[in-house]
Structure 1
Amino acid sequence: MKAEAADAAGARLARQATVEVAGVLGKRDMSRADLARLMGVSPGRVSQILSGDENLTLRSLAAVAEALELDVRISFVEPKAVPQDVTTMRHGGSDAYVYTH
């Protein structure tokens, strides 16, 4: 049972990360092809990373952040403790939080 819970938590975290990246791309009026060019990878690889189907690794997330000249922050918070400065998005039955700073 714990492995299933960890898998579900990992999937939620990956969705949250991909929502965050999509938000950054939207704010910067950038496409996935633009991100691919900055990362030095194919557009297909960026689609794999951002599809939510891949087990998103910290290395992949760091590569995206590096290409966008951003830092990644990881926080551990109490369950159901959603900060005031987030927008909750429903995706596949799970919540993803997008910080609105």
Structure 2
Amino acid sequence: GMPAILKGFIDRTFSKGYAYSYKGLLPIGHLKGKKAWIITTNDTPSFYVHLVQKDYGKVLSKQVLKMCGIKTIKRSTAYYLRGSSLKRRQSFFRKIGLYSQRI
């Protein structure tokens, strides 16, 4: 799942009253018009992530950012970093850099 330090950051940053509030039972996002690009890495092969683990990028997008009014424009994930080659990691980061220059 999501690393504890990231979970703690989210709990403190996207707090009720600042990032969202409720009107009755419905959440009202206070950060409308903002966009997010979620970049995640892990040490698990992609097939295992899709079969067993929760994708915390998806959880972050749907359960945190969307509730606060933030639109996720892109999600990028590098799987199995521990078993990947330097060339593969450099390719991932090069793609991140190129895309970030276009947005």
Q: TM-score, normalised by structure 1?
A: 0.26
Larger radius of gyration: 2
Whose strand fraction is larger, Structure 1's or Structure 2's?
2
Whose helix fraction is larger, Structure 1's or Structure 2's?
1
Q: TM-score, normalised by structure 2?
A: 0.26
